[in-house]
Structure 1
Amino acid sequence: MARIAVIGAGMGAMAAAARLAVAGHRVVVYERTETYGGAVRRFERDGFGFDTGPGLLTLPAVYRDLFVKTGKEPLEDRVELVQVDPSARHVFPDGSEVLLPNASRAGVVSALDEALGAGAGGRWGDFLVRAREAWDRTRRPLLEEPLWPDWQVLAGKEPYPAVPHKRLLRTRRARTLAEIGFWELRDDRLEGILMSHALAYGLAPWSAPASAAVLPYMEHAFGTWYVRGGIRELARAVYERCLQRRVEFVFGAEVTRVLEKDGRAAGVELADGSVAEADHVVADVHPALLRTLTERPLDDEGDVRADPGAAPPTRFTLLLALRGGREPGAAHRTVVHPAAPESEWDFLASPGGDEPRCPTVTVLRPGDPALRPDGDHESVVLSATVSAEAAWDEDGTVRRYTDFLLAAAESAVPGLRERLLWHEVRTPAHVEDETGSGSVPAPALAAGQGRFLHPANTTRLPGLYRVGGWSHPGGGLPHAGMSGALVAGLIVEGPDFRGSQ
């Protein structure tokens, strides 16, 4: 039995801890805040409840597998999973809108043809077929295997089979998600739907590789799910599974150093000066923080870089307490598209330049009795991807984005202004307080010269492992769960571990 110290109680860390405990190891989790879940938090006030991190779940099979592998009680015995249908309502600046069915290619094609005109559904359906090919080519090395030293295979040929496009006597193929939209979808509204999937993960559409097509494909193929009571209930279930497997949690415990002995990780030192010895250390923290905890470089020259040039986008969120219940037939998720999406992209690329632009806004209306005082009220979450480098310490910036989100949400929530009791603002500073980073990690993607991969789960310091959204295979609830499975496999089976089955 090995002693394992885990830094942080995020979803990836807890997924690894539960698996390691079942394998017979003694696992202690050190969390600097007073609760578990990382970015998966809940805000409560006056009988209203809100998910402040992810609001929906894709690939629930990742957490079903976690519960199967760590005990006889399946996930569905611990939480209630509800398939969200329609998957999303999209509202466009020209006044058109479309409701997209959940996990139904034929239904989506039909809905797009009816709402956006004949041919729109066919182009989107053909795109999903190509996206599936990219998914099939990358799923195993990108999501189910550790990031091996020959990771360059994921940075080479673009796995998305782009359609040849003739332009100025040249034949070109889409290399970015934005180019897929321009050349293959050929409709501003279809482009908006595609770009919204990238923005939801904190990815910039003009720079995200074409392989980002796997993101909308994941939703299409595996469905969009809600956890009754809020996604925080999923974090609670994983935490309780850890406790059942005798994982120990120490809250309010900030790790200040990873200890070394004989050239390998040997434990952690805490802010109060105490030391906890360990045979392995698993870190669920931002790469910049992890570097301050160690005394040596963690990657070889030429490995995947943990700090790409610009800070990745982050999220701005409004939590709304409304009087009056949700109207019958209201969509759980509405995406409100801006009139000038290119301006939004430009501002994300250079936030120090022009004035902030109205962003793409996601409106979540779960209609969950657990998140409201009674049937005569409703809790709503508005969110947008924004630049982490904007002036979030200035009241003017916060007010500007508050106005943007409220104005956009009026097209999704009838009588919003009149119904609004109060709202709570959550800026990137709140994200940083809870997770240690003001940015939100995106899922790992192939191609793009490796710029969209995350650091490997192993490091140059033997015995030190990385887990969670800032490590392979990247951010998002399912990816965090996958990272936990990979780290547990590397520790239990050693360097011969070839990936989850």
Structure 2
Amino acid sequence: MARIAVIGAGMGALAAAARLAVAGHRVTVYERTETYGGAVRRFERDGFSFDTGPGLLTLPAVWRDLFVKTGKEPLEACVELVQVDPSARHVFADGTEAVLPNASRAGVVSALDTALGPGAGGRWGDFLVRAREAWDRTRRPLLEEPLWPNWSVLADREPYPSVPHKRLLRTRRAGTLAEVGAWELRDPRLAALLESHALAYGLDPRVTPASAAVLPYMEHAFGMWSVRGGVRELARAVYERCLVRRVSFVFGAEVTRIVEKDGRAAGVELDGGTSRALGPGGGSVAEADFVVAPGAGGFVGVPPRGQGEVVPQRGLPSRLTVLLALRGGRPEGTAHRTIVHTRDREGELEALFGTAPAPAAGPTVTVLRPEDPGLVPDSAHEAVTLSVVVPAGAEPGTDLVEAALTVAERALPGLRDRVLWREVRTPADIAEETGVEGGSVPAPALAAAGGRLLHPANSTALPGLFTVGGWAHPGGGLPHAGMSGALVSGLVVEGPEFRGSQ
């Protein structure tokens, strides 16, 4: 039985802790804040409750697997999962709307043909077939296996089977998501639908590789799910599973350094000046046989990788979230999620990834309107969340909040008249909760693009030290966090020969 110190109580760390504990190890989690879940938090006021991190769940099988492997009670005995249908409502720049059913290719094809005109659904359906091929080629190396030592194979090879396209007397194939939209989907509204999946993760579709086609495919193939009571309930269930497996938690304990001894990780040093657990005074060392830390985006104590390793990602965008307490109940048949697309695509992309100011037409806004009585004081009120991608470290002012409300009113007329109060959460709030500079939000690992969207391996240059969570392989997103925990557990328990789930 080994002693294992886990730094931070994010979702990936919790997943690793539960798996390591059930394997017989003595696991202690040191969390600098006073609660668990990382970015998966909750805001409550006046009987209203909001998720302040992810509001929906994809690939719930990842978390089902965790509960199967760590105890007798399955996931559904601990939280209630509800498949969201429709999957999304899209309000495009020209005012056209499309309501897409959940996990139904035929239904989506029909809905797009009806909304956008004959042939639109067929082009999207054909794209999904190619996206599935990209998924089949990358699923194991990007989700279920430790990062390959020869990871450059993933960096150089584009798994998406682009359709040959004649342009200026030359035959070309789409190499970016924007080119897939322009050359294969051939409708600015379908292109906006495609690009919104990249934008949701803070990725610029103009340079994001075509392999990002796996992002809409995941949503299509595995559906979108809500958690009754909010996604925070998933974090609670995983935390409680850790307690059942006798994982120890020390909250209010900030780790300042990874201790090394004889060339390997040997524990963590805690800041005695800030640690509630230690009280005032000098720091203390907690010895361990293995240390599990956040990836490079979340903890500065992870040593640099060796030459030729994946370079940690920096500077990814963050989120502005506006929580709205509304008078008036949620109308029957309302979509849980609505994406209101910007009327100024280039302006928005330049504002996010260039140096231009915010677009006058307003940003793309995701509107979440969950059908969940537990989130509101009564049926005469509604809890709505607006989400906007913003640059990391930005301090969004009232102008951007008002712009988001104006955009949201394209999907929810009369919104301002219903607002009782609002709570604005900025990148600074994300930075405070996660410890990531600027409140950056990690993107999932993607193949191609020279490895720019891969994440560093879970094993590190220091023996005994492993990294977990969104800034380590396989990257950001709730399913990826769960897989990260599974990979770290496998590497600790089975050693470097571990090759992932079968």
Q: Calculate the TM-score normalised by the size of structure 1.
A: 0.96
CA deviations 1:217-248 (Å, max 9, x no partner) are 00000000000000000000000000000000
- Matches of residues 2-81 of structure 1 in structure 2 within 5 Å? 2-81=2-81
SS in 1 for 2:130: helix
- Matches of residues 229-248 of structure 1 in structure 2 within 5 Å? 229-248=229-248
**Partners in 1 of 2:66 and 2:91 — Cα distance?**
37
CA deviations 1:93-118 (Å, max 9, x no partner) are 21210100000000000000001000
SS in 1 for 2:397: helix
Gapped regions of structure 2 (runs ≥ 5): 273-282
CA deviations 1:21-46 (Å, max 9, x no partner) are 00000000000000000000000111
Point out the more displaced range, 354-363 or 208-217: 354-363
Task: Report the counterpart of residue 420 of structure 2 in structure 1.
Answer: 421
**Partners in 2 of 1:490 and 1:8 — Cα distance?**
19
- Matches of residues 161-176 of structure 1 in structure 2 within 5 Å? 161-176=161-176
**1:265 maps to 2:277:** no
- Matches of residues 44-193 of structure 1 in structure 2 within 5 Å? 44-193=44-193
Select the residue among 291, 294, 307 that pairs with 1:281: 291
**Partners in 2 of 1:120 and 1:92 — Cα distance?**
14
- Residue pair 1:50, 1:381 contacting (<8 A) in 2 also: yes
Task: Report the counterpart of residue 491 of structure 2 in structure 1.
Answer: 490
**Partners in 2 of 1:307 and 1:486 — Cα distance?**
20
Task: Report the residue type matching 1:287 in the other structure.
Answer: A
SS in 2 for 1:301: coil
Q: 1:378 to 1:236 in 2, by over 3 A?
A: same
- Residue pair 2:297, 2:471 contacting (<8 A) in 1 also: no
Task: Report the counterpart of residue 443 of structure 2 in structure 1.
Answer: 442
Task: Report the counterpart of residue 360 of structure 1 in structure 2.
Answer: 364
Gapped regions of structure 1 (runs ≥ 5): none
**Partners in 2 of 1:447 and 1:417 — Cα distance?**
44
* C-alpha displacement of 1:356: 4.5
Task: Report the counterpart of residue 381 of structure 1 in structure 2.
Answer: 385
CA deviations 1:32-78 (Å, max 9, x no partner) are 00000000000011111000000000000000000000011000000
**Partners in 1 of 2:19 and 2:447 — Cα distance?**
28
Identical aligned pairs, as a percentage?
74
- Residue pair 2:348, 2:358 contacting (<8 A) in 1 also: no
**Partners in 1 of 2:225 and 2:255 — Cα distance?**
35
Task: Report the counterpart of residue 310 of structure 2 in structure 1.
Answer: 304
Task: Report the residue type matching 2:338 in the other structure.
Answer: T
* C-alpha displacement of 1:293: 2.1
* C-alpha displacement of 1:418: 1.1
CA deviations 1:341-372 (Å, max 9, x no partner) are 12111111124x33445211000000211111
The alignment of Structure 1 onto Structure 2 pairs a total of residues equal to: 489
**Partners in 2 of 1:210 and 1:234 — Cα distance?**
32
- Matches of residues 308-387 of structure 1 in structure 2 within 5 Å? 308=314, 311-351=315-355, 353-357=356-360, 358-387=362-391
SS in 1 for 2:309: coil
CA deviations 1:458-484 (Å, max 9, x no partner) are 000000000000000000000000000
**Partners in 1 of 2:95 and 2:461 — Cα distance?**
54
Point out the more displaced range, 163-172 or 317-326: 163-172
**Partners in 1 of 2:301 and 2:225 — Cα distance?**
37
**Partners in 2 of 1:124 and 1:293 — Cα distance?**
45
- Residue pair 2:108, 2:121 contacting (<8 A) in 1 also: yes
SS in 2 for 1:373: coil
- Residue pair 1:298, 1:461 contacting (<8 A) in 2 also: no
**Partners in 1 of 2:321 and 2:97 — Cα distance?**
23
Task: Report the residue type matching 1:223 in the other structure.
Answer: G
Q: Calculate the TM-score normalised by the size of structure 2.
A: 0.96
**Partners in 1 of 2:359 and 2:128 — Cα distance?**
33
* C-alpha displacement of 1:389: 4.9
**Partners in 2 of 1:271 and 1:500 — Cα distance?**
37
Q: 1:48 to 1:92 in 2, by over 3 A?
A: same
- Residue pair 1:7, 1:283 contacting (<8 A) in 2 also: yes
- Residue pair 1:367, 1:379 contacting (<8 A) in 2 also: no
Task: Report the residue type matching 1:490 in the other structure.
Answer: L
SS in 1 for 2:389: strand
* C-alpha displacement of 1:411: 2.1
SS in 1 for 2:98: strand
SS in 2 for 1:149: coil
SS in 2 for 1:197: helix
**Partners in 2 of 1:430 and 1:320 — Cα distance?**
17
CA deviations 1:192-239 (Å, max 9, x no partner) are 111111111221111111000000000000000000000000000000
**Partners in 2 of 1:389 and 1:168 — Cα distance?**
41
Task: Report the residue type matching 1:354 in the other structure.
Answer: P
* C-alpha displacement of 1:8: 0.3
**Partners in 2 of 1:303 and 1:417 — Cα distance?**
50
Report runs of 4+ in structure 1 exceeding 4 Å deviation: none
- Residue pair 1:13, 1:468 contacting (<8 A) in 2 also: yes
- Residue pair 1:18, 1:247 contacting (<8 A) in 2 also: yes
**Partners in 2 of 1:110 and 1:307 — Cα distance?**
39
* C-alpha displacement of 1:307: 3.7
- Residue pair 2:36, 2:235 contacting (<8 A) in 1 also: yes
How large is the RMSD of aligned CA atoms in angstroms?
1.1
* C-alpha displacement of 1:447: 0.3
Q: 1:73 to 1:288 in 2, by over 3 A?
A: closer
SS in 1 for 2:420: strand
* C-alpha displacement of 1:412: 2.2
